Structure 1
Amino acid sequence: MTEQKPLLTRATPALLIAGSLGGVGAIMVGLLSLAPAVDDGSVRAPVVAQEQPSTLEFQNAGAFELPPSVGPGGKNVPLTPARLDAPPPLAAAPVVAPIPPVKTQAAKVKAKPLRIRIPKIKVNAPVGAVTVSKTGVLGTPPLSKPNLTGWYRHSPLPGELGPSVINGHVNTRKGAAVFKRLSELAKGDKIYVYRSDGKVTRFTVSGIEQVGKKTFPTARVYGNTANSQLRLITCGGIYNKSAHSYTDNIIVYATLSKKKG
């Protein structure tokens, strides 16, 4: 499941996390001051009470201070959250300039992401668009399409300046979904996003963390950046069967390192 609140890309105010789907999480973030709730399609309150401590909380029990930066991830390395005020992790590969948006009137149809490929975890999936409902809730891919990912269409187009956000389910009631293995990614891994304008963007993972939904790092995920970045988000932690929700979110941070087309 993925869970997050929508973002308005021209602002950097604080956002909140909300809502989740049965068995699958949806996360997207809204403006810091106007944080809309997120709902993956379940009929319940936007914020789910955490009935039991997550794995993360057990790991950090007794800790006086969280790490000052997002960890690199890796095999057999427990994922922990960085301090709330920590910045996004530094790029793991040389950064290339963002792709400038097309501003001519001739471009009547705006480009969009079509497919995402992550070789390490064998993801090769279509990308759909998700947006905010009239009630301020950000949608996620339908559970009937577990291999579909969702790009928040008001976040930057992958490859353009700023943090582009793509979410996906970790599982559905019928089994594994597209981002089931997202937590296996680590610093240096490659993510490819294919766009409708023929351009191909390659992002290199710079860090990964697992955070409690009540302490989602809004500024780190949705704040303005000086280059083109990508955020992949799904659910993690302990699954609450009665609430159909996970306690945590898995967040992957990546920076544009190559572009073609």
Structure 2
Amino acid sequence: MAEQKVTMQRALPGLLIAGSLAGVGIVMVSLLSLAPPVDDGSGPLAAAQDQPTKVEVQNAGAFVLPATVGPGGKNVPLTPARLDAPPPLAAAPVVSAIPPAKTKKAKARPTRIKIPKIKVNSVIGGVTVDIKGNLGTPPLTKPKQTGWYRFSPVPGELGPAIINGHVSTRKGPAVFDRLHELAKGDQIYVYRSDGKVTRFTVSGIEQASKKSFPTSRVYGNTTNSQLRLVTCGGVFNKTAHSYTDNIIVYATLSKKKG
């Protein structure tokens, strides 16, 4: 999967951390200042005309659709991402987040992800950003491995945990080759090193141009435990060896055990 840039913000210890983001009475700070700058397409708008034409008045709102993240589904065209869309609402009853460990030594990490619908059963490694500020991905030599962004919350804790993976390599399909088939209501299981198992229910899926990645929606504060799965999509540029878009799956914690 091609690299993507993200805007981040380091969570403050003792507050409701974006990296752990759990606990009552704690205040969360977003991941947004932890990521390097990303061109999210939010540049200045073109100057408006002084007066709309009669045709513009007659057609006002005729083709304006509400900003939303689509439900997805096999053989269903993905909803193009709009920067003004809110995160999708949970598709199943939400359960409370898992409190973060009180010491670094006891901190959990995700170890495996299973997505029954698309037959994913993958080891989870760790990824971070490179010196250019690009979010890392799992090694191309391990196309079936996924990567958890280590400065995002541990899956199951409060906030948006980020896991990415390749859609393909030169040798063929990779771990998230069928990610685009997921739909609202599908289930994702993430296993943790502390023995806990978390189940997330998909709430929406979208396709976003890498030139206008919805940084705030993916990395912004949440009031519960959420999961973001990210891979590549769109058109493959053979010269640049990269795809034009990203596929983004949004999911919310719906069950926990252990």
For the superposition of Structure 1 and Structure 2, which TM-score range results when normalised by the shorter chain?
0.7 to 0.9
Shift of 1:3: 3.6
Going from structure 1 to structure 2, the CA distance change for 1:182 and 1:35 (only over 3 Å counts) comes to same
Q: Is the 8 A contact 1:221 1:231 kept in 2?
A: yes
Say whether the 8 Å CA contact 1:235–1:248 is kept in structure 2.
yes
Counterpart of 1:179 in structure 2 is 176
Give, in angstroms, the shift of residue 215 of structure 1.
1.2
Contact residue 164 and residue 231 of structure 2 kept, 8 A: yes
Counterpart in 2 of 1:101?
100
Q: Deviations along 1:66-123, whole A, 9 cap, x unmatched? A: 64110101132110224311110000000000000011x4x61421000000000000
RMSD (Å), alpha carbons: 2.2
CA 1:211–1:166 in 2, change beyond 3 Å: closer, same or farther? Answer: same
- The aligned residue for residue 240 of structure 1 is 237
State the AA in 2 paired with 1:74.
Answer: G
Question: Could you tell me whether the CA contact under 8 Å between 2:9 and 2:34 is conserved in 1?
Answer: no
Structure 1 residues 117 and 2: CA distance shift in structure 2, 3 A: farther
1:192 to 189, 196, 201: 189
**Aligned with 2:79: secondary structure?**
coil
**Identity percentage of aligned residues:** 75
Contact 2:228 2:249 in 1 (8 A): yes
Tell whether the 8 Å contact from 1:67 to 1:82 is kept in structure 2 after alignment. no
Contact 2:234 2:243 in 1 (8 A): yes
CA contact (8 A) 2:10 2:34 kept: no
Query: What is the number of equivalent residue pairs in this alignment?
Result: 217
1:71 aligns with 70
Greater shift after overlay, 189-198 or 77-86?
77-86
| Structure 2 residue identity aligned to 1:91 | A
Structure 2 unaligned regions, length at least 5? 13-30, 39-61
Counterparts of 2:205 and 2:74, CA distance in 1:
12
Query: Which residue matches 2:5?
Result: 5
User: Which of these two proteins has the greater Rg computed from alpha carbons?
Assistant: 2
Cross-structure match for 1:86? 85
Please name the residue that 2:153 is paired with. Answer: 156
Deviations 1:115-166 (A, max 9, x none): 0000000000000000123343332100000011000000000000000000
* 1:35 equivalent in alignment to 2:32: no
Q: Which whole-Å CA distance do the structure 2 matches of 1:115 and 1:95 have between them? A: 22
